[in-house]
């Protein structure tokens, strides 16, 4: 049931919510016109009172898969990749995952989809909108809004070069002599790109590459354009999650770092308000691959992102598994605040990008940081660099299949790869937040050296494309790494989804155990279930003193993963190498 309508008129309420945010980014004289235009875009989809928002958009049942539209394809049939993906998901994961993040499925010119040339079309090589809607009918769909930049082949930029409206006003032109030394760079490419226009040579802002030209949100027309795009994704494509890609770089002011600026945060808050007006069940997630403190700022005051990526988790978890000790992971967890009411962490260990290193800044010792890089290179990984404001370079991310990243420890390769990998995924899905699995983690995909060689892009090493017939054959082989990992992780996901203590906002408390173990306590929102999540991070059996866990003697206890009953809470419990336990009082 919808809440009672506000006593304000629709438009008055609309203005009351949005005007303070617009005032942070735009000139006062322009704001009445901007409000009129925003109101017109939402039109018949406007939902008032806009103050209503469901703070319980998720439960312990929510689990997300991250995939490209063509991560699985068929070379033996005429079926498009999105059809193949929909069939695979329906047959293998319908009872396991609840959401699917399909990475940019639009026409594009580079960066595997993140240089979008048409936001309102589906790449015909992948399928069409009906294929997207088929997946959205079965799973909660997450759609990328690549709003910092467009492809150099997008109509807007073609209009810019031709001096035609509206695109001629959508981009940032900078004289090449300007001092841009303070600008934070995620890449080594120049921040300015020289292009030819009808008015001669110009230099335009390009944060990521010469084919990804930044749009100018200081022009409110750009804001209006992206609201139209977001509205289409929610209303027509039935998206349940709107992912704001690279949003931290949105606003540019020469003389500043051009990242996390106040107008950027104001526009995210504005978009959250507008999304809530279109459909209060839709969530906004920000992608900001930056140090932890900066990343946390995107929750705002419960009024910005509904979800933020837990970017510090992948490098810290990987380091803990390689070192066999929990020191830094435990210190980090103890410093992490609970997500605000109505917000959640989006937990992951791998993605289409590499394992970001900036989120680990200040969280690892110099020695362990260097050991992490050296070990990853030994296991076939690549290290991508970024240029700092002073002109020097520093590691930006590790590019490697996470499965191959777990083929050993800092001591070298060993025979524990599968157990170590499953332990890492179990730890991730136990944490406060919503778990997300990159498809190549779920499938234990190794490094793709062939694709790396073909593209020359380090990130290609973890973007393998499975031929469906080969994949099915592998999954049917009970002894293949793919089958072993896929079946066990899916089994644990299904167990997890039934536990109230794994609600994304359920209480989490770090346990003080010996460094070879990592553990924390989760308690359900109703306080009727506790789960003690404990992990052996080493290749040796480890003894756990159950007194350290503080089990209550009046309750029976069970490890949900193994099914083993805990009959003596004062005994010693032996965890085998890389064993994970979920010890609960409610089963």
Helices 31-42 and 220-235 pack at an angle, to 10 degrees, of 20
Residue 6 per-residue DSSP state? P
Across 567-579, average pLDDT: 91
Q: Where are the alpha helices (DSSP H) in 115-261?
A: 129-138, 155-162, 220-235
pLDDT per position as a tens digit, 511-548:
999 999 999 999 999 999 999 999 999 999 999 988 88
pLDDT band at 5 (very low <50, low <70, confident <90, very high): very low
Least confident of 149-153, 213-217, 550-554: 550-554
Question: What integer pLDDT is reported at residue 230 of this predicted model?
Answer: 98
Quick check: 22 pLDDT over 50?
A: yes
Q: Which of 356, 368, 364, 308 is nearest to 462 (CA)?
A: 356
The DSSP code sequence of 98-143 is: SEEEE---S-BSSGGGTSBS-TTS--TTT--HHHHHHHHHHSEEEE
* pLDDT given at position 572: 87
First to last CA, the chain: 33
Q: Given this model, what pLDDT does residue 217 score?
A: 98
pLDDT above 50 for 32:
yes
- How many C-beta neighbours within 10 Å does residue 486 have? 20
Which residue has better confidence, 10 or 452? 452
Q: Is 244 annotated as a binding residue?
A: yes
For residue 576, give every residue at least 6 positions away whose Cβ sits within 8 Å of its Cβ, in sequence order, or none.
536, 541
Please state, for a pLDDT cut of 70, what percent of the chain lies above it.
98
Q: Consult the annotation and say whether 515 binds a ligand.
A: no
Q: What is the pLDDT of residue 49?
A: 57
Residue 470 marked as a ligand binder: no
* Beta-ladder partners of 387: 393
* β-bridge partners, 517: 536
Average pLDDT over residues 497-508: 98
Residue (of 552, 282, 316) closest to 431 by Cα position: 316
Is 22 annotated to bind ligand?
Answer: no
- Is 459 one of the annotated binding-site residues? yes
Whether pLDDT at 51 is above 70: no
Which one is catalytic: 144, 214, 245, 448?
245
Give CA–CA dist 535/559, Å, rounded.
12
Q: Residue for token digits 């070069």?
A: 161
Tell me the fold of 149-214. Oligo-1,6-glucosidase; domain 2 (3.90.400)
* Contact present, 509 and 67 (Cβ < 8 Å): no
Distance of alpha carbon 161 from the chain centroid: 34
| CA distance linking residue 47 with residue 55, whole number of Å | 16
The verdict on whether residue 272 carries a ligand-binding annotation is no
Tokens of 160: 């810019």
pLDDT at 25 over 60: yes
State the pLDDT at residue 391: 76
Average pLDDT, the chain: 94
pTM recorded for the entire structure: 0.96
- Residue-level pLDDT at 2: 38
Span 129-148, mean pLDDT?
98
- Residue 165 CB: number of other CB atoms within 10 A? 9
Q: How confident is the model at residue 3 (pLDDT cuts 50, 70, 90)?
A: very low
Query: CATH for 507-584?
Result: 2.60.40.1180
Q: Each residue of 549-558: pLDDT tens digit?
A: 888 777 789 9
Share of the chain above pLDDT 90, in %: 87
Task: Tell me the sheet residues that pair with 141.
Answer: 100, 239
Whether 504 contacts 434, CB under 8 Å = yes
Strands (E), 311-401: 344-347, 355-356, 382-387, 393-399
Mean pLDDT lowest among 18-32, 41-55, 276-290: 41-55
Is 187 annotated in a binding site? The answer is: no
Enumerate the domain spans of the chain: 149-214, 507-584
Mean pLDDT across 377-405:
92
On the question of a common fold for 149-214 and 507-584, the answer reads no
Contacts of 122 (CB under 8 A, 6+ apart): 82, 105, 106, 128, 129, 131, 132
Q: Give yes or no for a contact between 137 and 89, defined as CB atoms under 8 angstroms apart.
A: no
Q: Please give the pLDDT value at position 7.
A: 45
Q: Which is higher by pLDDT, 56 or 179?
A: 179
465, 73 Cβ separation under 8 angstroms:
yes
Catalytic, 477? Answer no
Is there a binding annotation on residue 118?
no
Contact 322, 372 (CB under 8 A): yes
């Amino acid at each position: 049931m919808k809440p009672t309508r506000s006593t304000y008129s629709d438009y008055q309420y609309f203005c009351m919510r949005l005007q303070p945010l617009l005032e942070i980014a735009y000139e006062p004289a322009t704001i009445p016109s901007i409000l009129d235009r925003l109101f017109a875009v939402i039109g018949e989809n406007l939902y008032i009172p806009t103050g209503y928002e469901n703070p319980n958009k998720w439960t312990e049942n929510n689990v997300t898969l991250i995939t490209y539209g063509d991560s699985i394809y068929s070379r033996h049939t005429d079926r498009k990749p999105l059809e193949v993906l929909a069939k695979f998901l329906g047959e293998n994961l319908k009872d396991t995952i609840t959401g699917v993040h399909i990475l940019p499925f639009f026409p594009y010119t580079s960066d595997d989809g993140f240089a979008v040339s048409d936001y309102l079309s589906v790449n015909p090589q992948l399928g069409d909108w009906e294929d997207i809607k088929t997946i959205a009918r079965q799973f909660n769909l997450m759609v990328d809004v690549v709003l910092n930049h467009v492809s150099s082949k997008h109509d807007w930029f073609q209009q810019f070069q031709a001096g035609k409206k509206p695109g001629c006003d959508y981009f940032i032109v900078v004289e090449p002599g300007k001092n841009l030394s303070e600008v934070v760079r995620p890449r080594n490419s120049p921040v300015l790109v020289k292009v030819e226009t009808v008015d001669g040579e110009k230099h335009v802002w390009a944060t990521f590459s010469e084919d990804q030209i930044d749009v100018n949100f200081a022009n409110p027309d750009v804001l209006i354009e992206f609201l139209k795009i977001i509205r289409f994704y929610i209303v027509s494509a039935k998206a349940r999650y709107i992912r704001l890609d690279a949003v931290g770089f949105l606003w540019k002011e020469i003389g500043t770092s051009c990242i996390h600026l106040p107008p950027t945060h104001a526009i995210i808050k504005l978009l959250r308000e507008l999304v809530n007006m279109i459909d209060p069940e839709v969530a906004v997630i920000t992608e900001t691959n930056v140090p932890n403190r900066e990343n946390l700022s995107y929750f705002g005051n419960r009024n910005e992102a509904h979800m933020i990526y837990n970017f510090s988790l992948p490098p810290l978890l990987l380091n803990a598994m390689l070192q066999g000790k929990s020191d830094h992971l435990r210190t980090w967890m103890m410093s992490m605040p609970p997500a605000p009411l109505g917000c959640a962490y989006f937990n992951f260990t791998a993605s289409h990008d590499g394992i970001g290193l900036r989120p680990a800044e200040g969280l690892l010792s110099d020695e362990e940081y260097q050991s992490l890089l050296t070990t990853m290179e030994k296991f076939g990984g690549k290290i991508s660099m970024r240029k700092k404001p002073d002109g020097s370079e520093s590691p930006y991310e590790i590019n490697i299949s996470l499965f191959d990243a777990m083929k050993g420890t800092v001591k070298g390769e060993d025979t524990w790869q599968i157990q170590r990998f499953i332990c890492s995924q179990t730890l991730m899905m136990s944490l406060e937040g919503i778990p997300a699995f990159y498809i190549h983690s779920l499938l234990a995909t190794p490094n793709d050296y062939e694709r790396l060689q073909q593209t020359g892009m380090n990130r290609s090493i973890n973007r393998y494309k499975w031929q469906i017939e080969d994949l099915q054959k592998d999954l049917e082989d009970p002894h293949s790494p793919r089958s072993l990992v896929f079946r066990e992780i899916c089994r644990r996901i299904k167990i997890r989804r039934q536990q109230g203590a794994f609600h994304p906002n359920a209480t989490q408390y770090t346990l003080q155990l010996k460094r070879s173990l990592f553990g924390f306590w989760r308690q359900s929102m109703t306080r009727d279930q506790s789960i003690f999540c404990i992990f052996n991070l080493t290749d040796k059996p480890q003894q756990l003193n159950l007194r350290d866990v503080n089990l209550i003697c009046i309750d029976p206890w069970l490890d949900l993963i193994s099914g083993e009953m805990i009959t003596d809470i004062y005994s010693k419990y032996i965890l085998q190498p890389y064993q994970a336990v979920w010890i609960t009082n409610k089963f």
